[in-house]
Structures are given as structure tokens and as C-alpha cells.
Amino acid sequence: MSADVVAWPPETVARYRAAGHWRGQTFGALLTALAAAHAERTAVVGGETRWTYAELDERAHRIAAGLAESGVRAGDRVLVQLPNVPEFLPVVFGLWRLGVWPVFALPAHRDSELRHIAGQAEAVAVITVGEHERHDHAATARAVAGAVPSLRAVHVVGSAEFGDLSAARPRELPDPDPAGVAFLQLSGGTTGLPKLIPRTHDDYLYSVRESMRICALTPDSVYLAALPAAHNYPLSSPGVLGALHAGAKVVLAPRPDADTVFPLIEAERVTITGVVPPLAAAWVQAAGRTGHDLSSLDVLLVGGAKCGRELAERIGPALGCRLQQVFGMAEGLVCYTRLDDPDEIVLGTQGRPISPDDEIRVVDPDDPLAASTDVVPDGAVGALLTRGPYTIRGYYRAGGHNEVAFTPDGFYRTGDLVRRTATGHLEVVGRVKEQINRGGEKVAAEEVENHLMAHPDVLDAAVVAVPDAYLGERTCAYVVPADGAAPTGVQLRRFVRERGVAAFKVPDLVRVVDAFPVTGVGKTSKRDLRAALAAHEKEG
């Protein structure tokens, strides 16, 4: 692997191979095997489209050939910004067959994020859609291509050009190195813009295989992707990849609301899906008044943000299915409650790791650079560190940042505050990282602060989380105006939006103050800002 990617130490690689975790299979080879085993079974349903495994496989071959003809080469990066359309799958498998790394942008990302991601990855092309949910993705992609020198092409799914590309004659392609990088995922981010996460065929397929097993997927399962499939959770926990690996049927929902999803659950006899807590709450509400038959639903995964006990208890009775909690991160580690765990565990914890080789350390929460040996006793709250067969050892091209995000012995500092039970289950109780978890959508405080500070009337900005009954958390931006200026909340929110950021990052609340409270060393005290906000909310 190149110097841009931090590899696992050779002795660790040998251990993961010997344990059978890393099997030397690529995603392309996996799809070939699936097409042979399940040729005529339905692989994917989305809108009016239904493709069998054989059709999916052939499309992936054609797209790989078409992209190769367009000049894309193994090791190149291609930015993929696709909502839940069926083409997502052949595009991604096509890129994998070529050894090209998809870079997974979310549909919500806009100019600012896309430029950053494409620039960091030095992507050579963008694959996107035209108009979707009232946003012209193709126009945004072209603007980004104009600003990022490495970008040579924009392919728009549904266009005539894309039609030609995906009609190319399949050709023999050498299988890429399974130990090499397969794609770049995005981090939720804590500092500035999202970091790129290099995942290999070997490591990711291990997590997909085990997720499929833990979630009991079989060829008779029907997995519904309600959240955007490019996100690590619906992609692999167990997600569309876990479902395909099992030979199951994947149903892509264009939107996650109950009015869209419930008819799909009924029509396709969906057995399993995954949502974030606010969506679970909305589905629970909607289930009471729906005429739709949800009886096929066996398992609802809930994760991405903390699922509180109250909500956890309502899911089974309201939706007539089992709850499975999932706590994961794009950097690697994924924990699940198991389907045969007692209620106490399923309702009250976020599960336990996938792998016996996931190493978990709960360390001193007050030291941001705590060593992996500074552990707290079981039952005490500490900062979660982890290392294992599908957790990265470093972000892509992020030398300096890696020194704080990872311990010298290779543990990832998740930034999550957890308690570990004597049984090895984790309960997520909070966070040390400067990130707001807006119902599963992650907002890096610093990124939004930087946008606010670009406003000429803003002297200083600090973004903190406000507790919210529906989303869990919302964002509040505290702003100190420049001399004599008096920007309003409405103006500042519009300003951030017009800088081309994902809508979920526009501050929910804006408070203009004269000065920030400071800590002993003169840093802005976010703790005091949160306390002031709590007091303010209480006053009403």
C-alpha cells in the first residue's frame, strides 16, 4: 500500500489471515460467485427496476468496461454521489472490478463538501444523478469538476452518455489485490471537513460476512435500504452488501419516511431494515395509523445515534418485529446486540463487537491522548479505543491528524464515551469528540464554525449540541459579532446554506453574544456554553 495509507503491521496481517478473517477475496470476485450461485434470483429492486444477480453482474461488467474505455485506471479514485437508485450497485461493483476506488459522498453533500472530498482524493471523475429531491446534482458536480483540477469527467446516471458507457462490451480485467484499498468512506468528522477512510476488500468483506451471520440473513431475506446506501451503516451493517452476500433481495427506498417505506415493506415482504433513532420513532408513531401490512418485518436495526430505552421498548410492540441495536463507525468497529440476547441487553446496550479479535479499551476520559493502557474498570465511563481486523490504522493522507486520532500502538480513538459491562457489552453514554449527532447525521463543530467565521460580521463562532426530543441533538451556533455589526440568525443561517453545505449542517439555532466564556487557559469553554444554553432553554 502507498504511504497515503497506514497498513496493519505484517504480523497482525498474518494473524488475521490465519484466523480466516481475511480471505483474499475481492468484491468483484464475490459478485461473480453470487451470480453463479443465485443467477435468476432477484438481487435488487428500486423504482420500476428489478435486476437478478445475473443481470447485476453483467451490468457491473459492462460499466467496468465502459469506464476502462473512458480512461479510468486501477488505483484511480472516482467520486460516487448517488441516492438510492439501482445503478448504485453495478456502478460500485464495476469500479471494484476495475480496481478503481469509489469515494462515497452522501446525497446531502453539496459544493463545499464535494470539492473538499474530490480534492483530497484527487478524484478523476464523478458519477452522480441529474435532478433528485429538488437538487440538480449534475450541475453541482460540473461546478465541482470546474474547481478541482484532477476531475476530468462527470457521468450522469440516466443520461445518454451513461447509457453508452454502461452498454460497453464486457472485457477480461485482472482482479485487484484483495489486501489493497477497495474504496474511501467518509468520517463524520470532528475537525474541519470529513476525513477519508481507506477500507480494503479483505477487511470490509470480513465485516460484511460476519454482519450477515449476526443478523441471520439467508437467501429468503429481504433487506430494505431506507437510509442512503453509500453510508457505512446501510452499506454493510448488514446493509445492501450483507444482503447480497447472503443471496437475498435488496429493496432501495428513495426516501426513509413511513409513507414511502411502509408500502414497500408490504409489497416486497421486507424482513429486515436499519434506521436511525428519530426514524424509528417516526415509524413507531406511523405504525399505529397505517393500514399497511408490516407482518413480514422480522428485525429492525437501530443505530447511528443512541437509541434510548423508552424508544427501544416501543419498537417491538409497535412494529411487530425484533429490535437489534447497532453501534458502528465508518472507521471500522461495529457492535450488535445478538438476536438471542436477553431483553435487558437488547434494550439497554448498544451490543458487543462483531469479532473476537476486536480489541476494546475503555480509557481515562479526561485525557485526550490517553494511552491504550490507561484503562478504567468495567462499569466505569471512559473513552472508547479500538483496534481490530476491520478498523483502519489511519485516515487517508492525514499524517498529522493520525497522530491524535490513533494511539502509537494503533488504536483508533473513537471519541465516544462508553461503559463496558462485565458481559462485554457496550453502552454509549456520550462523546468526547467535537461532533454533534443530529439523529445519526454527524456535524463537525469546527466545520460549521469555519463557515460562520467566513462572514464579515462574525468575529468568533462556537457550535455546540442542544438536546432535542426528536433528533437527540440539534446544533446551536454561538456567535460573537465583529465591532458594530449585528448579524441576525436568519442571515447567518442563509449565509451558511449559500456556502454550499449539506442542509443538515446549517445551524438549527443561532445565539449572538458579546463574548464567549473561557477556560482556565483562555480557550472558549464549550462546557459553559452548553450550560448557558441549558439554563436559557429552562427559562423558556
327 contacts ligand OOB (rule: CB under 6 A): yes
Q: What is the DSSP letter of 302?
A: E
**267/144 Cα distance (integer angstroms):** 39
**H or E stretch at 104:** strand 101-104
Could you tell me the three cell numbers for 274?
A: 436499519
Interface with ligand OOB, residue 206, by CB under 6 A: no
Least distance in angstroms from the C-beta of 43 to ligand OOB: 22
Q: Does the footprint of ligand OOB cover residue 330 (CB under 6 A)?
A: yes
Strand order in the sheet with 101-104: 153-156, 125-128, 77-81, 101-104, 181-186, 196-200
Answer yes or no whether residue 90 interacts with ligand OOB by CB under 6 A: no
Q: Rounded distance, CA 331 to CA 435, Å? A: 15
Find the part of the chain contacting ligand OOB (CB under 6 A) among 61-69, 152-160, 229-237, 241-249: 229-237
Q: Which of 202, 416, 434, 449 binds ligand OOB (CB under 6 A)?
A: 416
Among 306, 413, 419, 505, binds ligand OOB (CB under 6 A): 306
| Cα distances (Å, whole numbers) of residue 449 to 53, 434, 435, 482 | 46, 11, 12, 15
Least CB distance to ligand OOB at residue 341 (A): 15
Please, which residue, 330 or 492, has the CB nearer to ligand OOB? Answer: 330
Q: Is 233 in the site for ligand OOB (CB under 6 A)?
A: yes
Query: Measuring CA to CA, how many Å separate 187 from each of 117, 197, 361, 396, 430?
Result: 11, 7, 21, 11, 18
Of the candidates 140, 232, 349, 355, which one interacts with ligand OOB according to CB under 6 A? 232
Q: Which of 304, 382, 439, 487 binds ligand OOB (CB under 6 A)?
A: 304
Question: At its nearest, how many Å lie between ligand OOB and the CB of residue 297?
Answer: 19
Rounded CA-CA distance 492/452 in Å is: 7
Residue 345 CA, chain-centre distance (Å), reads: 25
Closest to ligand OOB by CB, 43 or 302: 302
Is position 474 an interface residue for ligand OOB (rule: CB under 6 A)? no
How far is the C-alpha of 223 from the C-alpha of 125, rounded, in Å? 30
Are the C-beta atoms of 172 and 139 separated by less than 8 Å? no
The residue within the footprint of ligand OOB, chosen from 26, 32, 42, 237 (CB under 6 A), is: 237
Cβ nearer to ligand OOB, comparing 53 with 204: 204
Contact residues for 356 (Cβ-Cβ < 8 A; gap 6+)? none
Which of 328, 365, 410, 507 contacts ligand OOB by CB under 6 A? 328
Measured between alpha carbons, how far is 396 from 168 in angstroms, rounded to an integer?
Answer: 32
By CB under 6 A, the count of residues binding ligand OOB is 23
Which one, 90 or 234, has the nearer CB to ligand OOB? 234
Q: How far is the CB of 201 from ligand OOB (least distance, A)?
A: 18
Only one of the segments 6-14, 254-262, 321-329, 473-481 lies at the binding site for ligand OOB (rule: CB under 6 A); that segment is: 321-329
Q: How far apart are CA 74 and CA 68, in angstroms?
A: 9
Under the criterion CB under 6 A, does residue 383 sit at the interface with ligand OOB? no
Q: Say which DSSP state 505 is in.
A: G
Q: At what angle do helices 445-453 and 489-498 cross, to 10 degrees?
A: 100
Site string for ligand OOB, 418-457 (x = CB under 6 A): ----------x--x-----x--x-x---------------
CA separation for the pair 317, 345 (Å, rounded): 17
Which residue from 45, 92, 305, 354 is in contact with ligand OOB, where contact means CB under 6 A? 305
299 touches ligand OOB (CB under 6 A)? no
Q: Alpha-carbon distance 328 to 235, whole Å?
A: 12
For residue 226, state whether it binds ligand OOB (rule: CB under 6 A). Answer: no
Site mask, ligand OOB, residues 355-374, x = CB under 6 A?
--------------------
User: Which of 145, 318, 326, 461 touches ligand OOB (CB under 6 A)?
Assistant: 326
* Cα 184–chain centre separation: 11
Minimum distance, C-beta of residue 260 to ligand OOB, in the bound complex (Å): 21
List phi, psi (to 5°) of 155.
Answer: -105, 125
Q: Which residue is nearest to ligand OOB (CB)?
A: 328
Closest to 327 measured CA to CA, from 212, 237, 242, 436: 237
Our CB check for ligand OOB shows the closer of 66 and 304 to be 304
Q: Give the residue among 140, 145, 113 at the shortest CA–CA distance from 129.
A: 140
Candidates 146-154, 232-240, 285-293, 398-406: pick the segment binding ligand OOB (CB under 6 A): 232-240
105: cell is 459522498
What is the smallest separation between the CB atom of 303 and ligand OOB, expressed in angstroms? 4
Nearer to ligand OOB, 88 or 327 (CB): 327
**Is the Cβ of residue 115 or residue 306 nearer to ligand OOB in the bound state?**
306
Query: Quick one: which of 62, 428, 470, 93 has its CA closest to 245?
Result: 93
Identify any residues that bridge with 299 across adjacent strands, giving them in sequence order: 272, 322
Candidate segments 23-31, 33-41, 78-86, 301-309, binder of ligand OOB by CB under 6 A? 301-309
Smallest distance, Å, CB 344 to ligand OOB? 17
Residue numbers at the binding site for ligand OOB (CB under 6 A): 188, 232-233, 237, 303-306, 325-330, 334, 350, 414, 416, 428, 431, 437, 440, 442
